[in-house]
A = this chain, B = another copy of it.
Amino acid sequence: MNGHETVQPPLDDASVASDPVRASTAEIKSVIASMIAEEGERNSAAGTALDRNCAHDRVRWAILERIMDGTYQPGERLKELTLAREFHLSQAPVREALRKLEAIGVVKSEPYRGARVRELSPTELRDAYQLRGILEQAATEFIADFPEEAVRTLETEYAAMRAAVTAGDLQGVACHNRNFHRCIVERCQNQEILRAWKSLGICMRARLNVQRRLDRLPEAILSHQPIIDALRTGNLRYAGQLLRDHSFGFVSDLV
């Protein structure tokens, strides 16, 4: 593909970034960063320099980014040698990257048949939204306290979300929505809940494509306001209830 590159020795981030569709790259990066952080947490307390050294980790990061930003569509084939050539690597590290992505459910592969970006059926999506609601409710009940500073972050994200929806920027809506919810769940004392929520987030990546009911989107977004209010007044239990209902609300759109 974008073969013989310029400088970067093995996997040049340049090629990754200069390539295709690019909208709000910074936002996407932050999402990706949180995912990487998730795995870092799982692997070691301070998950930092892990993906700097290993080619297979860089490849995994790059593929994940492309899946998240829509470069690779759901169902799209991921050929090992093609990716290897693109990254100026051999097949082995690409395979390892795909194995990890397969294990966390981002990619689906069959022996001798290759790997594809995993597609989510409406049923799976419905189940995922329900589970997200359950986890967010539980997480909220485990929050020790919700400081004013965090409330302000919520308001910022909420405002950005409304701005994005009026601008018709679905990508932006998805991103700020995710940030909003993450800001809440991250305050949870229970790391396993947080981990489960994040691993679910990976599967929810099917950006708002599924939200074909664009007309109902604005009203869905407005339901974030009461959540902010409940959190500000420290009514965590009620906030949890609202979050659960909020997620369950999407279910009806999905069969």
**Residues of A bordering B, CB below 8 Å:** 39, 42-44, 50, 53-54, 56-57, 92, 95-96, 99-105, 108-112, 123-124, 127-128, 130-131, 134-135, 138, 142, 190-193, 196, 199-200, 203
Contact = CB atoms under 8 A, between A and B. Distances in A.
Nearest to A106: B103
A116 to B, nearest CB: 11
A134 B127 contact: no
Contacts of A54: 111
A58 to B, nearest CB: 11
For this chain, the copies found in one complex come to 2
Nearest to A52: B111
A146 B87 CA distance: 52
A110 B56 contact: no
Contacts of A203: 192
5 contacts: A43-B102, A99-B103, A130-B193, A131-B190, A196-B200
A39 B111 CA distance: 14
B108 A190 contact: no
Contact of A128 (B53, B127, B192): B192
Contacts of A127: 190-193
Contacts of A112: 53
A191 B126 CA distance: 10
B111 A53 contact: yes
